[in-house]
Amino acid sequence: MVKHSILSVINFLNLKVPIQVYFVFLEKADLGELRDKIGTNIFLFRIDCFQQVLILIALYLLILHKGRLEKMETELTHEEILRYSRHFPIPEVGLIGQRNLKKSAVLIVGTGGLGSPVALYLAAAGVGKIGIVDFDKVETSNLQRQIIHSSSTIGLSKVLSAKKRMLDLNPDIQVIAYDEPFTSENALRIASEYDVLVDGTDNFPARYLINDVCVILRIPNVYGSIFRFDGQVSTFYAKEGPCYRCLFPEPPPPGLVPSCADAGVLGILPGTIGTIQATETIKLLLGIGSNLVGRLLLYNALDLSFEYINLKKNPNCRICGPNPTINQLIDYEEFCGFPRQVELHSSVDNDSLLTPEDLFKKLTGNKKILLIDIREPFELEISSIKGALHIPYGQLSQRLNELGGEQEIILFCKTGIRSRRALEMLRGAGIRNVKHLDGGINSWAKRIDPNLPIY
């Protein structure tokens, strides 16, 4: 009788009981059956008959109290039941799954092309707490692919723009905006509050940082990357499979892999990849389906093809291997070969950086200079500076013979990033009389020639 009463309570409430030891009056043959119902990590002991009723009442009250607390935390409101009603007929989701989503927490690093669809779909799905990290502001050039932002939020902080849109889509969730860079100093503090981290970044220092944070905190890292027509998605979870460092132990040399700004990206591509990342995140939170742990998904938009590559843990991985050498977060800019900001200011700003006004004076004066446009051919169709010699950045090292003489060399690109790298390369080749245009041709268009388009 006692056994059936206790089992009825447990079955009716369908709850995990937060008690590690139970004292019940049962025959030895019944103990195993009760343990199977409650959990294999539960210890059961037989007690004397006169304590039977008190223990049964206490057990019932404890289970009931636990159930009420859980239901209060994750109970769906009438509005939420209507909002998520299309989830309920799905056996893998249902009411229980929706409550699990409501009590889940996901951190999205980056609110750009990938972060936009991830944030929107996780908000729409009812993930209860979503953190978003970014420190950029919305620009017009973002709107071709970063669908969470709009023309009305140009100039606004990206995280505030994204938060506004997410809460407009679903006011019942909690959105926490971190308007700051994701760095070694703050990453663990921020990420420790979340169950899953989604990588929406576009640079290698951030990817290695995110990986190491997830390994240390033992949470999944839902990774995505895009390039022109190609995309990749995987879930790096060192607890169950390989991490990002298992696949890429070392970063590529700086400048070898162009950014989206340099190489371009099909505007709809991050929508496809980001939606897959959001799908993977929902599956992880619900514990359903087959995830991408140990698999890398490759997508090509031109062929509309999907391929998978099986991944294995690297036994020599520096952070998730059996003998890790990385036990804390490091300087990821230095690890990836990126010069520090202090070094940039001391080596470039003082003697090698040219303002648009300074360049205008040189061009209109009598001093002979060699102005070199290192942008790609398609960029010349958008804007140009009269008199510039065109040598694409990728060809510069093979055309050093064209840079001889005593004349001053001035490099420019779109925004000044590629020209700085080109300047460092030329100096490494022994060419010292070289400067580059601060802010690139876009800065020239803003301050000198407003007839040129900014892109």
Catalytic residue among 246, 317, 336, 413: 413
Domain segments of the chain: what residues? Answer: 2-74, 83-335, 347-447
Residue 25's beta-bridge partner residues?
none
Structure-token pair, residue 376: 């790609």
Q: Which amino acid is at 341?
A: Q
Examine the pLDDT at 436 and tell me if it is beyond 80: yes
Model pLDDT, residue 359: 96
State pLDDT tens for residues 254-282: 878 877 777 889 999 999 999 999 999 99
Examine the pLDDT at 364 and tell me if it is beyond 70: yes
Model pLDDT, residue 286: 98
Q: Which amino acid is at 160?
A: L
Catalytic residue among 243, 260, 320, 336: 260
Interval 139-155 mean pLDDT: 97
State the CATH architecture for 347-447.
3-Layer(aba) Sandwich (3.40)
Active site residue 49: no
Q: Domain 83-335 belongs to what topology? A: Rossmann fold (3.40.50)
Contact, 145 vs 233, CB < 8 A?
no
Residue 77 and residue 83: Cα distance in Å, rounded? 10
- The larger pLDDT score, comparing residue 108 to residue 365, is at 108
Sign of dihedral through CA atoms 313, 319, 320, 325? Answer: positive
Contact, 220 vs 210, CB < 8 A?
no
Model pLDDT, residue 200: 98
Examine the pLDDT at 1 and tell me if it is beyond 50: no
State pLDDT tens for residues 42-86: 444 444 554 666 676 766 676 666 555 555 557 999 999 999 999
Examine the pLDDT at 15 and tell me if it is beyond 50: no
Instruction: Give the pLDDT band of residue 366 (cuts 50, 70, 90).
Output: confident
pLDDT above 70 covers what percent of the chain? 82
Give pTM, 2 decimals.
0.77
State the pairing for strand pair 295-300/230-236: antiparallel
State pLDDT tens for residues 185-230: 999 999 999 999 999 999 999 999 999 999 999 999 999 999 999 9
State pLDDT tens for residues 292-318: 999 999 999 999 999 999 999 999 999
Model pLDDT, residue 405: 75
Q: Do domains 83-335 and 347-447 have the same CATH topology?
A: no
Examine the pLDDT at 338 and tell me if it is beyond 80: no
CB-based burial label for 284 (10 Å; 0-12, 13-18, 19+): buried
Active site residue 260: yes
Model pLDDT, residue 17: 38
Residue 309 and residue 289: Cα distance in Å, rounded? 18
Q: Which amino acid is at 104?
A: S
